[in-house]
Amino acid sequence: MKSQESGSMSTAVAIIPAAEDNDRLSPLFVEHYRRVLMSAYRIAGNMADAEDVAQGVFLRLGSGEAAAMANAETYLYRAAINGALDLLRRRKAGATEPLECAEAMASTEPSGSPETAISSRELGRHLRQAIGELAPRAAEIFALRYLEEMENREIAKLMRTSSAVVAVTLHQAPSKLKKRLTELQRGKR
Amino acid sequence: MKREEESLLDRATHALQADVPDPDTITASAAKAAQRLGIQIDHEVFSGAIRNCDDVRQLLDAWPLLHPSGRWIL
């Protein structure tokens, strides 16, 4: 592997995989970048973090770190979700989101009332925080089921566990999220 | 109370599902990432064209927030 990485993902200027890696990476990038970015964005809640996550995912794939994995697609989406979940966990509770979130709100909800838009954005922010407080595996399963809308059996296969474990997790995680969301809506941090 | 919590989670989940960047932002992001990774791409691919079922699903998810009245044109 001849890739070079300088500094953190957000400060790196050029990360160029070797030519042979590029040939393999290009079709995967074209096919999956959009969805990988979306998956990361839904959880991270802002484009800068989502881009860092998405680029890191493709970089690792191109570097051969995940080359042994039989299914690159599977790797990409799980890695995007887990990368974004890691960011959520690192984010300090109560920290504000970047200004771009407000711009995104304005651009995605042009015909809604300001109250509706703020309420929706606020709810999303609270859910992100609550997901970040779940156990890592539960957070991943919840995201795969309810944000990526995968079936339980697909999730079980992806995570190499049983459908029963997925079902139990999907029973427990929403209960915790509901309670936490209610608290957050009432102003508890 | 329980129903209220249920509804809150449903609305919050839907808000995240519908929270998608606009096509221009995605195109710009793809171009930037491709450059950093040293990949040549056709920018048209990322221009927001509907290419598969996931793209359609994302548009459907975004519809209620874009049009809060809930009325469908079709």
| Count of other CB atoms within 10 angstroms of residue A76 | 25
CB contacts < 8 A, A to B, total 135
pLDDT the model gives residue A26:
83
Burial of B43 (0-12, 13-18, 19+ CB in 10 A): exposed
Q: Cβ of A112 and B68 within 8 Å? A: yes
d(CA A116, CA A88): 24
Q: Is A176 on the interface with B (CB under 8 A)?
A: no
Angle (CA) A67-A61-B38 rounded to 5° is 125
Q: Which of A131, A127, A16 is nearest to A63 (CA)?
A: A16
CA distances from B73 to A55, B63, B64, B67, B69 (A): 37, 11, 12, 10, 11
d(CA B46, CA B42): 8
As separate numbers, helices (DSSP H) first and strands (DSSP E) second, chain A gives 8, 0
- pLDDT range class, residue A27, cuts 50, 70, 90: confident
Quote the DSSP letter at residue A147: I
As a whole number of Å, the end-to-end CA separation of chain A is 45
Q: Is B5 on the interface with A (CB under 8 A)?
A: yes
Answer yes or no: is the ipTM higher than 0.90: no
- pLDDT range class, residue A5, cuts 50, 70, 90: very low
The whole-number average pLDDT for the span A167-179 is 95
Looking at chain A from residue 111 to 140, which residues have their Cβ under 8 Å from any Cβ of chain B? 111-113, 116, 120-121, 123-124, 126-128
Q: Cβ of A22 and B38 within 8 Å? A: yes
List, for residues B52-68, the tens digit of each pLDDT value.
Answer: 777 677 666 655 554 44
List, for residues A36-55, the tens digit of each pLDDT value.
Answer: 999 999 999 999 999 999 99
Q: Cβ of A178 and B9 within 8 Å? A: yes
pLDDT the model gives residue A21:
61
The whole-number average pLDDT for the span A74-99 is 78
The whole-number average pLDDT for the span B67-71 is 49
Q: Is B43 on the interface with A (CB under 8 A)?
A: no
CA distances from A189 to A130, A184, A185, B49 (A): 10, 6, 9, 41
Tokens of B23: 């096509």
As a whole number of Å, the end-to-end CA separation of chain B is 36
- pLDDT range class, residue A20, cuts 50, 70, 90: low
Residue B3 has pLDDT above 60, yes or no: yes
Angle (CA) A48-B38-B22 rounded to 5° is 35
List, for residues A93-136, the tens digit of each pLDDT value.
Answer: 545 555 454 444 444 444 455 555 558 888 999 999 999 999 99
